Amino acid sequence: GLKKKEVNVLCLGLDNSGKTTIINQLKPPNHSNHLGPLSEEWKHVSQTQAQEIVPTIGFNIEKFKSSSLSFTVFDMSGQSRYRNLWEHYYKESHAIIFVIDSSDKLRMVVAKEELDTLLNHEDIRSKRIPVLFFANKIDLQDAMSSVKVSQMLCLENIKDKPWHICASNAIKGEGLQEGLDWLQDQIA
Ligand code: GTP
Ligand code: MG
């Protein structure tokens, strides 16, 4: 039969921005959700557990399939001590998801520095790969709008790559589909 196109997606951004939470939302539902009707109380417990995500050490690899594509997602740790791992995966990546904590005003300049370093890297600079930004945690009281995040990161300066920014609430899964639909269109 037809083989699905293999796509490597690199998920980057500072620690605590919500990368792993986003990727977990993309996974097919846990089979325990299909065991039959759960009482409301148990539903609540299983949802809460699904949200208990620990900081990533190094990176994790997750695989997903859509109707036409087979995705391998590299969920990198955003902690400063692991950020030097990112560049090892630039060459083989076909798309980048860059996650920002919209409420973390103090570290927006750090996020911009990391983004600029990424975009200026020799393995990325010359590639026309799509970059999807999630302005995540928009549910938080002091979150900035995606327009404001986009301004702070100077995204309008990205001229040589297709890019798109979506506001998201990864805990509820809001905004994720819109972003992924865009990414799929770019790759397909
Ligand atoms: P590292 O693995 O350390 O790089 O972090 P990460 O980017 O993978 O962040 P992670 O997914 O571990 O999320 C960090 C924390 O933010 C967790 O407590 C999440 O529950 C929380 N979080 C993630 N997305 C959202 C969101 O949209 N809104 C809110 N309020 N909290 C979120
Ligand atoms: Mg993580």
Q: Which CATH number fits domain 5-187: 3.40.50.1100, 3.40.440.10, 3.40.50.300, 3.40.30.10?
A: 3.40.50.300
Q: Residue 169: CB within 6 Å of ligand 1?
A: yes
Instruction: Give the whole-angstrom CA distance, residue 53 versus residue 81.
Output: 19
Instruction: Give the whole-angstrom CA distance, residue 156 versus residue 39.
Output: 48
ipTM over 0.85: yes
Which tokens in the block code for residue 113? 């520095």
Q: Residue 51: CB within 6 Å of ligand 1?
A: yes
Q: Which of 52, 53, 146 to mutate to test the pocket of ligand 1 (most atoms within 8 A of CB)?
A: 53
Q: Residue 187: CB within 6 Å of ligand 1?
A: no
Q: List, for residues 81-122, the tens digit of each pLDDT value.
A: 999 999 999 999 999 999 999 999 999 999 999 999 999 999
Angle in degrees, CA 119, 184, 157, rounded to 5 = 30
Q: List, for residues 27-64, the tens digit of each pLDDT value.
A: 876 544 444 444 455 444 445 445 578 999 999 999 98
Q: 3-state DSSP: the chain helix, strand, coil percent, rounded to 5?
A: 40, 25, 40
How are strands ordered across the β-sheet holding 59-65?
59-65, 69-76, 5-12, 95-101, 131-136, 163-167
Which tokens in the block code for residue 1? 């039969």
Angle in degrees, CA 174, 4, 122, rounded to 5 = 75
- What three-state secondary structure class fits 168? coil
Q: Which of 49-58, 119-128, 160-169 has the lowest mean pLDDT?
A: 49-58
Give the number of whichever ligand sits closest to the CA of residue 21: 1
Whole-model pTM: value is 0.90
Q: Which of 20, 47, 61, 136 to mutate to test the pocket of ligand 1 (most atoms within 8 A of CB)?
A: 20
Strands 95-101 and 131-136: parallel
